[in-house]
Structure 1
Amino acid sequence: MKNLFRKSLVVALGGLMLFNAPVEVQAAPKKILVITQSAGFRHQPVNRAGKETCQVERVLAEIGKKSGVFTTVNSQNAIKSITRENLKQFDGIFFYTTGMLLPAGDPRDALMEFIKSGKGFVGAHSAADTFKQYSGYVKMINGSFAGHPWNAGGTNGFLNHEPTHPTVAMMGNEFMWKDEIYQYNNFDPNAVRVLFSLNMAKSRPQMPYHVPVCWVRSFGKGRVFFTNLGHNGSTWENETFHKHLIEGFKWSLKLTDGPSKPNPKLQAKESIKAFALFASQKLKLDHDMLLKDMMAKADDEKFIKLLRENSWKSRGRDMNLIKAVLAEVK
């Protein structure tokens, strides 16, 4: 009888423990407003062409659902969708856009304040060719389109500066990718953490300046993730790019962590590497010696400023500007 009572007690306690055991609850997916409006050049991946959705909208809906991270609401009418009232329902916003989408005043302020309040912003490709005459947006995304010497048909090399960062961990230390790559006006190295850049040694054309391709930043209480990949339709069907985007959304939505502190010293060294490669080839100089001598000045802010300004202004053509930098190396 005692044994029967003990067994009954053990079963009852076990059931009680099972009943009170913590249950892992799947977090509800975040809600993302997807803007694919083209007020300027219209890229193929955002052209609905008479269909209900474009390629970008379809892919984002698919990877959001499959990952369980987010759901999407699509719009190609920013004026209608980006209002203070409508934005209240969203956790983040995605841009693959061009041109001046919103009038000055409260509509633009609503967008900036939405991000600063703690929401996520994810931008792909021509999000950096948007609001070029609106300094608030340009400062937020940290750059504006200034051409694409690396065209859609070319395959170029990229250097991953932080392969442990969740947003770029899937890319490896170095990789090759076929896509159109922008260069930028109004890029501030002190504002963002660059995660990967063009590897000029494995890219054509080779330019004497650093070309960032993916970066992150904090913006008020919010987070900004930008990747310049995405011009080509083939990129949007690539599983590695899907992972890149998913992790970008997760990071911007604060579901994962990774540093966003700006890394201007790393960027200065990348500027030196691009310049040394270009100058040594064009002027028949000893590359290794030039690189060593320039790296010795990596912490010289005045020199780095001259290097960045002259190499960018030269556009790889004005060799007098290049020689002016070389004159300061020793």
Structure 2
Amino acid sequence: MAQAFPFSAIVGQDEMKTAILIAAIDPSIGGVLVLGDRGTGKSTAVRGLAALLPKIKAVTGCRYGCDPADGAARCADCATLRPAGTVAKSHLISVPVVDLPLGATEDRVVGALDLERALSQGVKAFEPGLLAQANRGFLYIDEVNLLEDHLVDLLIDVAASGENVVEREGLSVRHPARFVLVGSGNPEEGELRPQLLDRFGLSVEVKTPDQLAERVEVVKRRDAFEQDRDAFTAQWKKEDERIRRKLVAARTRLPDVAIPDAARERAAALCMALSTDGLRGDLTLIRAARALAALQGDATVGDAHLRRIAGPALRHRLRRNPLDNAGSSARVERAVNELLK
């Protein structure tokens, strides 16, 4: 695996980095959609975060990297890897980051019959796909707005259930496929289908830096990384370690963060003022605010957390308003200023 650019060395793009950290703290938020110009560090941030995350325990010999401590989320194969009544053997693995290319076939994504074993041994065996590889990690889709419709339908089903089901060629396989979905794209090249757009918990906007000093610093750091990756990574190791400790502490703290009824009421009022469809916006806003509070070391969700995370949680859930020419970000900001004074 290629060495990742240190997460802490990414210049600017604070909203994107915060959103990715929040999704890593609480994967139930539903992933992150990153929209903006090419070459603004979208894929760099995802791989950088995965590289600094602590390794996770996985059942030894399991093709899906199942969690030995979570019996409900394990695959059927895990039962064959240990005698009844014994604890499954485990080992440490890196958090997977899997790229889903636009040209991927359905078989490559969901898995299919292992033709080599079928022809050489006459055995019907399942060859896991990209969804299996991404279990308990990140599934990254660049240019997600250009993804083919049949793959979009697959992702919607798996994202909703956390399980991949394959029924084809005489095979009947189901396995866990729980991952943080991260998509990136340029809105000028096409829009996402509403069904997939709604599955992303957070949506952030990234732009090419317009400050001279910031642009120079981006180029300077990237060039230093390409010249000597080991030395550059060592230079930022301490800061990456600080972020790692902060993230691990936030995961531990998350269940204990209190959400007052007043915060729930303000979140609901904000969603009502923006006329968001359904209740997924309310849930995402509260969950993201709780994860942000955990990240900041706060014991209770307050207006400051709702204010900071309202844009990423709600901007992609707004209906078009022909009487309001303001963009979705401006509409969210306006509602926040009115309701969270």
TM-score, length-scaled by structure 1: 0.31
Give the number of the structure with larger relative contact order, counting CA–CA contacts within 8 Å between residues 6 or more apart: 2
Structure whose CA Rg is larger: 1
Structure with greater helix share of residues: 2
